[in-house]
Amino acid sequence: MTQRPAAVVLAGGLGTRMKSSTPKHFHRLLGRRMVDWVVEAARGVDADPLVVVTSPQGAAELDGLTVAIQAEPRGTGDAVVAAHQALDGFAGDLLILSGDAPGISPDALRNLLDTHRLEEAAATVLSFRPEDPREYGRILRGEDGSVRAIVEAGDASPEELAVDEVNSSIYVFAADRVWPALEQLDTANEQGELYLTDAVRVLVENGERVAAYLVPDPIEAEGVNTRAELAEAAAALRDRINRAHMLAGVTIVDPETTWIEAEVEIEPDATIHPFTVINGESKVAAGATVGPHAVVVDAVIGPGATVGPFCYLRPGTHLEAGAKAGTFVEIKNSRIGAGAKVPHLSYIGDADVGEETNIGAGAITANYRPELGPGKFRTEIGRNVHTGSDNVFVAPVTIGDNAWVAAGSVVTKNVPPGALAIARARQATREGYDDRKR
């Protein structure tokens, strides 16, 4: 049985080209921070132990993970050395992953590991061919296809810069070979840093075999250094997520305008219309229709439910089977019962709406009552209730089953089941008013 690999994720850089006070590895895309995408890929190949190397400032952002601290930014080789203690005693295949490559997938890592084992290599590099090689290190191969060197762009000759196969900064090493190689690194390079790529050079000089796995899709290996590259990576991950949902039976009418975060669950036969954003741990059941122009955050959409167009479901919203949240409707922390409808122009917050109830246009639940104490108060609306247009429900208030609420009412008292509530000022009409004003 093949031993599980270990993994070290390098996430110590500040990312000054992002022009941000947030280190680049902690910028978010599709619901996860950049480094989280890499960690999830490592988990996808059952890496254990799994260590994240970061700066002293970044350690607090990685709660729940095994963290190694790189006290000073002295290069990628030094970063791997920082993880040595956490890997003490491990002697198998050691994945080294770049924390700024969110596109890397478990499948690519499995292929990298398979190549490494098939080649019986001391190290294997994940390489790729981008449209623009930019500042990536060039992969120089020998006649037998093995890697004879990785040359950083700043140290490369014009002939070497012409090579289009580049280093992703993702590797697998035989653990017992990498530590001695790292001990031989020096800072004789343009940046004055300890390059992990020089560990490859040391292994080659010692007569060890170094292989390369050329990943077919460059998005698997592209690093992110700028906001523009962050957006490009997000678009690629969006396409990957949408394709997986479509292959699983979800209809996404226009994948290019539909953004679904990584943790979202959607059942087959749901339909997602254009310009829809579904975030967090939202769940969409079979037969539901969402959008167009809907935003869904940490909400549950039940079987056959309808959302939109132009609808905002905030955290804690639960639409039960066949419920409707319609045009220009915002719902927060509320349960909308089976078959109930909030068709248009309403805000429903901190409320429970019973089955088959119809909420008229322009409804508002006034859930903030500071004179009654801190926090929000709930509105309870029963089953088969018919509310009129332009109703305000001043919480805490309960509307009983089968009740009716007249249009324009501001409801401040409980309404018994089956009753009609009218809570508005009597209309007064003064004839000839305009003539007197003139």
Tokens 């509530």, residue located: 421
Indicate the DSSP class of residue 436: H
Cis, peptide link before residue 49, omega less than 30° from 0 = yes
The dihedral region occupied by 333, where left means phi > 0, alpha psi between -120 and 50, and beta the remainder, is left
Query: CA 202 to CA 199: how far, in whole Å?
Result: 5
344 is catalytic: yes
Residues with Cβ within 8 Å of residue 160, at least 6 apart in sequence: 138, 140, 151
Among the listed residues 245, 318, 344, 386, the single catalytic one is 344
Of 152, 150, 149, 33, the C-alpha closest to 99 is 33
Q: ∠ CA 60-65-69 to the nearest 5 degrees?
A: 55
- For 49-87, give the DSSP string: SEEEEE-TTTGGG-TTSEEEE-SS---HHHHHHHTTGGG
* SS3 state of residue 89: coil
Sequential DSSP letters for 215-240: -SSGGGT----SHHHHHHHHHHHHHH
**Separation between Cα atoms, residue 415 and residue 195, nearest integer Å:** 73
DSSP class of residue 245?
Answer: H
- Length of the chain in terms of residues written: 438
Helix (H) or strand (E) segment spanning residue 405:
strand 404-405
Contact of 72 with 54, CB cutoff 8 Å: no
What residues act catalytically?
A: 344
